[in-house]
Amino acid sequence: MLYRLVCLLAAVVMVGISCREEGDTQVCSRGSTDEPARAAYILAVVDSIGVELGDSNYVFGAIAETDIGPDGSIYVLDYMKCTLFRYTSGGKFIHRTGRRGSGPGELLEPYNFSVMDDGSISIWDNQLGWTRYDSLGECISSGTRLDPWPMRFISLDSVCILGMLNRVSREDNNLIAEKLICRWNADFPNSVETEYLARDYSIDISGSQLNWNDLVEIDFFPMLFCAGDEFVCVAPDPRRLPMLVLFHEDGSVIDTLMLPYTEVLRTEEELLIQKQYVEERFSAMSSHAKSINWEPFPAKPMITCLGVDSLNRIWIQRGFEQNPTFDLYNTSGELLATAVLPGRNNTEHWKFSVTGNGILAVPENPESYYEVYTIRCNE
């Protein structure tokens, strides 16, 4: 699968982007920040859901994912409580979907979910498989296993899912992890309809210990993706490479865009914080917790979030800024605006979700308790 990525990288040279070298970093004039953005937006936290103690409908064990439904309802998947919570756009509890168990509609290890355009819900459980619920939270079908299994997915409409599938195989002394960005039907999830981009990661397992740096990169820094009207956008290597590949819905390439981002190195303190954060999170997911010794990457990631808003603008979060900062592009590679959430310079481990229905943010390592923040863009 690597040859497909190589072909896309080669396409960068062919799209007529003018580049110059600055040290070890390539800077491209297309969409350059030397050109003033057409607008500067301020993001603001307008509300939050979650309390430390009190009503159990607002106390989260551990948040896996969040989403906003077509009616503005806010959904929060709690993998510790094995429950999907639903709230109004103002944060008032509506109802729960699912509970701990292995029966129809129940959950044991919910990992990802998405709300479809008709309000129905798709949930992936690492132990039980694919479960579908109607807009009222009633189970439609459950127990469908996917091979390969999804790492993350979003809805495209009332029927189709865009997601990243994950398959692991072995070739001689190498472990091969394949990540595939593709589209499938929510009601027939084992049938891939369109493939967009695939990457293969090879890990040498001939030694006595696994390479934890490789494993962390595969599971913590995979490809990012989003979708708008009639296009799909993928960041093939968001940690190292400020590149986006745009696809038509049928899988053909529209364009390859290089963003004018330069490498920003971490300080010694930031390296230590990142090391502790990743090792703790990876240890919690691994049966080899005592063996993990991960060395952080010296540079901050280029891109940490992709999304598309209701105006079909691509939101790209700069991974190297102290305050959350997003660049808004159209599919022609034109920088339309920049949006900043000021006064929040401790948000490196916040997970943002930008959709046509709104913006949410969740701290992944909260100091005391989990909260979901609703974000407004003051345009």
Work out the mean pLDDT of the chain and round it to a whole number. 86
Cα–Cα distances in Å, from 179 out to 229, 232, 241? 24, 16, 17
How remote is the C-alpha of 256 from its chain's centroid?
20
pLDDT top residue among 216 and 189? 189
pLDDT top residue among 1 and 85? 85
- Least confident piece of the model among 72-76, 166-170, 230-234, 252-256: 166-170
pTM for the model stands at: 0.88
> Does the pLDDT of residue 156 top 90, yes or no?
yes
Cα–Cα distances in Å, from 164 out to 21, 153, 180, 284, 287? 33, 6, 5, 22, 24
Section 246-263 average pLDDT: 97
pLDDT of residue 316: 98
Residues 326 and 338: beta-carbon distance below 8 Å: yes
- Which one, of 83, 150, 137, lies nearest residue 110 by Cα? 83
Residues 149 and 165: beta-carbon distance below 8 Å: yes
**Of the ranges 165-169, 186-190, 342-346, the best mean pLDDT one:** 186-190
Residues 283 and 275: beta-carbon distance below 8 Å: no
> Does the pLDDT of residue 34 top 60, yes or no?
no
Cis peptide leading into 301, omega within 30 of 0? no
CA–CA separation, 38 and 36 (whole Å)? 6
Section 266-295 average pLDDT: 74
pLDDT of residue 208: 56
Residue 90, CB-side half-sphere exposure with 13 Å CA sphere:
1
> Does the pLDDT of residue 179 top 50, yes or no?
yes
CA–CA separation, 342 and 379 (whole Å)? 15
Confidence label for 205 from pLDDT (cuts 50, 70 and 90): confident
What dotted CATH number matches 2-264+299-378? 2.120.10.30
> Does the pLDDT of residue 293 top 80, yes or no?
no
Residues 47 and 375: beta-carbon distance below 8 Å: no
CA–CA separation, 330 and 174 (whole Å)? 40
> Does the pLDDT of residue 56 top 90, yes or no?
yes
What is the residue extent of each domain of the chain? 2-264+299-378
Give the tens place of pLDDT for each residue, 297-337.
899 999 999 999 999 999 999 999 999 999 999 999 999 99
Residue 168, SS3? strand
Confidence label for 202 from pLDDT (cuts 50, 70 and 90): confident
Distance separating the N- and C-terminal Cα atoms of the chain = 42
pLDDT of residue 349: 86
> Does the pLDDT of residue 270 top 50, yes or no?
yes
